[in-house]
């Protein structure tokens, strides 16, 4: 029906409902996509920032590493796990300047090694070069230990190689020539300082001993004259103080010898019982003055003779006994001497000095052998002393390959034990006692004394007069040389340090004269007490040596020995 029109209608909401549903889904999807894009962009931005920071940190780390490598005093070379060059510093090229045109990143070490070894291989055959390079490459790959290379011109490089965590190899090269030069300079400076110290000690020893010789010598002469009780007591105090000062000087000199490594031992056969008994008898006098009992106990198995240095052994025992007497107010002191056989045929001599004195606190036992140390400050104030005795005892014991130990309890006493390994010796004919030697001494000798100190001139005249000799005195070496040519002398007592001509020069001048004048026995009488001084005097033509302050008995024995025997001394 063409004339018929049909009209229909629907609610707009119903018509648009499907579209609204699709539009919401599309919007949600679009929002999701935008959010995802934003998230990806944020992550990319964060990654870019982190990457930028990492690159910056890496650049800074590399710059710091480059600075560190550039500031190194040692040469640095880094190879990777494939043993190819990765990095090096400027110092490495300073050590090996001939590598400038050769070294590069990625260069195998096997190609670098021949170029690096070129100067040290100059003049070698091709086979020797190949062998050296092969050994060098192999040691580099093992990355073990040190490699030294002589670069010529006195330059020696020491290379240390270590493997990294990723298998690479770090090589650090050091010019040890400079270190050796520094050590040499330091050694020379130390030796110069030690020589200066020795010269200072020798000079101070001489300057102190010279007046001390006059003090103790005149004091001894005074004690040989009739004195009132009070005067004798005062004179005895002077002698005691002077002897204490002399002991300190001797301790300082001995300690300086030990520190300088110049103390030597006189190895002879001696009777240990007699050597220690001599010291105990001497110290018994001091012990009795304090109402102390001092006894020496000798084991029956003690060898009749051992081989060692009896003087140093006596010195240790003297110091130990001196401390025991000093620090013991009441009771007793016992010396126990024994010997035990050793597996090598020697015997270990043990001397134990035990007392009932004040003892030593446990915390002080660790330091009492240190120089200038005592148990505490109150000990030094109450008993005095320099604190050098035990230090010397330990050093001398170690020099004798022995040891010294101590056990002590405050208020109950101390026990010092010296143990020294010694060879067994053979008995020699016993020397005559001092009294017998003195009786057998030659008397009435005519002696020339060369001494510039006025007090010591008077002292020597008095001593020689007491010994029954005659003497003339001159003030220097020039006068001594002239005097021996105009008068007949049996002995010359020659001081070492005198004006115009010293004792050594005067001795050489006398030895250069004609016989019999050249054969006059010359005995050095000097305040120079160092061992090298004694050697110098004997090498310079003197027959014997006695130190100031003068031991009258020792001088008398030397006069007995040389007074009637004009035998030329050997002159170097």
pLDDT tens digit string along 276-302? 888 888 788 778 888 888 999 999 888
Is residue 564's pLDDT more than 60?
A: no
Of 296, 341, 346, 348, nearest in space to 320 by CA: 296
Assign 545 to helix, strand or coil: strand
State the average pLDDT over residues 498-510. Answer: 87
- Condensed to tens digits (0 to 9), the pLDDT of residues 83-110 reads 899 888 888 888 888 888 888 989 998 8
pLDDT at 510: 92
Q: Which helix (H) or strand (E) holds 306?
A: strand 306-308
pLDDT tens across 434-451, in order? 433 343 344 588 898 888
What residues have CB less than 8 Å from 79, skipping those under 6 apart? 85, 86, 109, 140, 168, 169, 171
Q: Give the mean pLDDT of 369-379.
A: 54
Q: Is the pLDDT of residue 375 over 80?
A: no
Average pLDDT over residues 302-327: 87
The partner residues of 546 in beta bridges, in order of sequence, read 525
Q: Which residues 6+ apart lie within 8 Å of 243 measured at CB?
A: 216
Q: What is the pLDDT of residue 115?
A: 84
Please determine, for residue 74, whether its predicted confidence score (pLDDT) is greater than 50.
Answer: yes
Non-local CB neighbours of 533 within 8 Å, separated by 6+ positions: 202, 496, 526
Q: Band of the pLDDT at 157, cuts 50, 70, 90?
A: confident
- Residue 443 is predicted with a pLDDT of 57
Query: What value does the mean pLDDT take over residues 547-555?
Result: 81
- Paired tokens of 431: 């020397």
**Would you say residue 568 has pLDDT above 60?**
no
Q: Report phi then psi at 164, rounded to 5.
A: -85, 175
**pLDDT, position 441:** 44
Nearest to 550 by CA among 530, 569, 531, 523: 523
| pTM exceeding 0.85 | no
Q: Which residue has the higher pLDDT, 95 or 429?
A: 95
Residue 471's SS3 state is strand
What is the model's pLDDT at position 257?
66
Q: Which of 49-63, 115-129, 213-227, 252-266 has the lowest mean pLDDT?
A: 252-266
Asked if 45 and 38 count as a contact pair (C-beta separation under 8 A), the reply is: no
pLDDT at 351: 93
Say if residue 403's pLDDT is above 60. Answer: yes
Integer angstrom CA distances of residue 496 from 39, 174, 307, 561: 103, 52, 34, 21
Count of beta carbons in the 10 Å neighbourhood of residue 502: 18
């Amino acid at each position: 029906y063409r004339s018929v029109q049909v009209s229909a209608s629907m609610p707009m909401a119903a018509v648009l409902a499907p579209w609204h549903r699709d539009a919401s889904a599309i919007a949600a999807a679009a929002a999701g996509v935008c959010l995802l894009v934003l998230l990806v962009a944020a992550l990319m931005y964060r990654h870019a920032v982190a990457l930028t920071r990492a690159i910056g940190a890496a650049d800074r780390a590399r710059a710091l590493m480059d600075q560190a490598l550039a500031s190194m005093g040692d040469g640095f070379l880094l190879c990777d796990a494939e043993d190819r060059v990765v990095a090096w510093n400027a110092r490495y090229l300073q050590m090996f300047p001939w590598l400038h045109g050769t070294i590069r990143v990625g260069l195998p070490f096997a190609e670098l090694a021949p170029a690096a070894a070129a100067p040290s291989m100059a003049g070698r055959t091709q086979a020797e070069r190949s062998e050296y390079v092969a050994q060098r490459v192999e040691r580099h790959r093992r990355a073990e230990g040190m490699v030294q290379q002589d670069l010529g011109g006195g330059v020696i490089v020491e290379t240390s190689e270590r493997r990294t965590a990723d298998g690479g190899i770090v090589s650090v090269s050091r010019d040890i020539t400079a270190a050796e030069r520094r050590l040499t300079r330091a050694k020379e400076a130390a030796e110069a300082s030690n020589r200066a110290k020795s010269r200072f000690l020798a000079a101070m020893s001489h300057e102190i001993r010279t007046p001390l010789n006059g003090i103790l010598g005149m004091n001894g002469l005074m004690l040989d004259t009739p004195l009132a009780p009070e005067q004798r007591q005062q004179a005895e105090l002077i002698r005691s103080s002077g002897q204490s000062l002399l002991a300190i000087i001797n301790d300082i000199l001995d300690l300086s010898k030990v520190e300088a490594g110049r103390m030597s031992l006189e190895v002879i056969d001696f009777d240990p019982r007699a050597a220690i008994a001599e010291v105990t008898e001497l110290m018994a006098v001091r012990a009795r003055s304090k109402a102390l009992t001092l006894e020496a106990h000798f084991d029956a198995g003690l060898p009749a003779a051992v081989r060692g240095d009896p003087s140093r052994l006596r010195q240790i025992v003297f110091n130990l006994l001196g401390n025991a007497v000093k620090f013991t107010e009441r009771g007793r002191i016992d010396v126990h001497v024994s010997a035990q056989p050793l597996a090598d045929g020697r015997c270990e001599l043990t001397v134990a000095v035990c007392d009932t004195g004040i003892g030593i606190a446990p915390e002080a036992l660790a330091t009492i052998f240190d120089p200038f140390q005592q148990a505490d400050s109150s000990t030094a104030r109450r008993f005095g002393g320099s604190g050098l005795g035990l230090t010397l005892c330990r050093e001398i014991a170690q020099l004798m390959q022995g040891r010294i130990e101590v056990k002590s309890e405050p208020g109950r006493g101390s026990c010092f034990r010296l143990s020294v390994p010694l060879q067994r010796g053979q008995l020699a004919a016993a020397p005559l006692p001092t009294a017998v030697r003195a009786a057998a001494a030659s008397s009435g000798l005519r002696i020339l004394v060369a001494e510039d100190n006025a007090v010591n001139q008077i002292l020597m005249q008095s001593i020689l007069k007491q010994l029954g000799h005659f003497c003339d005195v001159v003030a220097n070496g020039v006068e001594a040389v002239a005097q021996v040519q105009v008068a007949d002398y049996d002995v010359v007592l020659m001081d070492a340090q005198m004006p115009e001509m010293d004792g050594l020069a005067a001795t050489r001048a006398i030895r250069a004269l004609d016989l019999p004048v050249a054969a006059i026995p010359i005995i050095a009488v000097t305040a120079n007490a160092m061992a090298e001084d004694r050697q110098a005097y004997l090498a310079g033509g003197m027959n014997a040596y006695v130190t100031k302050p003068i031991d009258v008995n020792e001088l008398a024995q030397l006069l007995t020995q040389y007074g009637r025997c004009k035998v030329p001394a050997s002159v170097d």
